Amino acid sequence: MNDLHLSSDDRTTMQSHLDELSRRLTYVLILVIILTGIWSVSIDEILRYTLNRLDPCSNSCMNIFSPDEWASTRWLSAALLGLFTAAPFAMTQAYTFAKPGLLPSERRGLVIWMLMMWIVSFGSLVFILMEFLPWLYSYGHSFNSDSGLVGRYDAAEMLRVSISIAWAMILVLAAMSLVSIAGVSKLLWSGNAGWWRLRVHGIMLMLLWLVIPLDLPGLFFTLTILASGLVELIGWKSFRAPMPIAYGLSDLLDNEGRIHRVLYVDCSCCKTSPKISPLPGMGVVSYLAVCRNPKQQDHLIDVVKRFGATQIVFSGCVVDSLPIQYVDSLRFLGCSVQSLDLSHLNVIRTDDNLLDCNLAMAALTNPWSEKSAVDRCLEIIKSSNVNKLYYGESIPFGLNLQDNEIWITNPPTPLIENVEQLGISVMYSSN
């Protein structure tokens, strides 16, 4: 086991995934081609209106110096409009393909990001073409007027520059929003900032360089530095954030100074396990039946991965009842697993006393010291009316405790000695 598996993972081959990806990309490409053809019918009117907005002169000073460049720009504009209008379908295909391999928080983040980008892209495109670029070209044209020069501008070149700037702005906004959503969702912190930087900057710059004309090196370097700088500025806090904390998790130190995060999984096991209070410092997450519900299993993996839990203590779920692959996934994340077995402890006596369950919680060690576990157990025993204690490696089949009897699984050796000193009868029991 050298990777992470979710409940939705299956044994589908890599070739099958590639075939599915190829099929979905084909669907998107066909739709883009169809929409490009539709937009090409009215692209001349759209470009005429756009050029009128971009024209910095009171009397038109835009010309076509190269018909072949104008034709390529015309089709490029139609293709970009086709790609933009096909984006909702493309996002649906992307989400459907990626969903089985994403954790719950990652799915939510992806949906929020795609919806936000669709709205932001449309708004930024309108602002850039209708307001920002006309102002920019007018500002640049004013230098020619002050110098006594007569401006003559290439319409195709101006459109290519406009498309490059608009595309760059959309890419920068996409990267900035992705970093912001990841930070708010607690998916991004200083420990994985390098991973996020590599992918966000890498994909953004690759797509940026793909569109910028090669004969405009000044625009190339300017947009590259500006794009990277804005992403770093927006992600300044997220890239340097400490490991996130939630569900009451806190850093616990063992006797060697190592940091532990212990998560108590309060699973009712279909209402067969009672609720007890966890030890101070433990995080708590509640489920109905995590051992039987794949969605709850994925949510637990999500919590462990996002918040760095190093140890899980199940309330009622027996570790052996969980899928082997699932337990291996938790261990792959560096998280050890154990169970209090409360669902069995709850049926070894006929009354509703939770003494045995509380004793199981109090006996936990690592990161707690053995001495603190003994002290907690003794405090519980002294406060109860107990005159006989049973212990062993596992709960014996058919065990039925009386009101003045108690059971503890695998107790620390010093606890048995201290209990005997209290005058309480101690008996080892096994199947």
Residue 279 belongs to domain with CATH number: 3.40.50
Q: Which domain holds residue 307?
A: 245-347
Q: Distance of CA 286 to CAs 42, 238, 262, 272, Å?
A: 57, 28, 14, 14
Lowest mean per-residue pLDDT among 151-160, 166-175, 188-197: 151-160
Question: If 0-12 CB within 10 Å is exposed, 13-18 middle and 19+ buried, where does residue 116 land?
Answer: middle
pLDDT of residue 65: 67
- In angstroms, the CA 142 to CA 148 distance is 10
> Does 145 map to a domain?
no
- One domain for residues 207 and 252: no
Domain boundary among 239, 266, 299: 239
Residue range 239-259, pLDDT digits in tens: 888 888 888 888 888 888 888
- One domain for residues 340 and 392: no
> Does 172 map to a domain?
yes
Domain boundary among 239, 255, 274: 239
The DSSP letter of residue 401 is B
For the record, the structure tokens of 408 come out as 């503890």
Q: Distance of CA 281 to CAs 166, 257, 276, Å?
A: 50, 16, 15
> Does 405 map to a domain?
yes
- In angstroms, the CA 123 to CA 84 distance is 12
> Does 146 map to a domain?
no
Cβ proximity of 212 and 161 under 8 Å: no
- One domain for residues 75 and 159: yes
- One domain for residues 353 and 385: yes
Domain boundary among 239, 274, 305: 239
In which band, very low, low, confident or very high, does the pLDDT at 164 lie, cut at 50, 70 and 90?
A: confident
> Does 113 map to a domain?
yes
- One domain for residues 167 and 260: no
Inform me whether the pLDDT recorded for 2 exceeds 60: no
- One domain for residues 34 and 124: yes
- One domain for residues 222 and 271: no
- One domain for residues 29 and 118: yes
In which band, very low, low, confident or very high, does the pLDDT at 409 lie, cut at 50, 70 and 90?
A: confident
* Residue the block writes with tokens 């930087």: 197
- One domain for residues 199 and 249: no
pLDDT of residue 308: 87
- One domain for residues 122 and 210: yes
Inform me whether the pLDDT recorded for 3 exceeds 90: no
Average pLDDT over residues 394-398: 83
- In angstroms, the CA 55 to CA 57 distance is 6
How many domains are there within the chain?
3
- One domain for residues 198 and 263: no
- One domain for residues 21 and 118: yes
> Does 273 map to a domain?
yes
Inform me whether the pLDDT recorded for 1 exceeds 50: no
Inform me whether the pLDDT recorded for 21 exceeds 80: yes
Helix (H/G/I), strand (E/B), else coil: 250: coil
296-305 exposure pattern, b = at least 16 Cβ within 10 A, e = fewer: bbbbbbbbbb
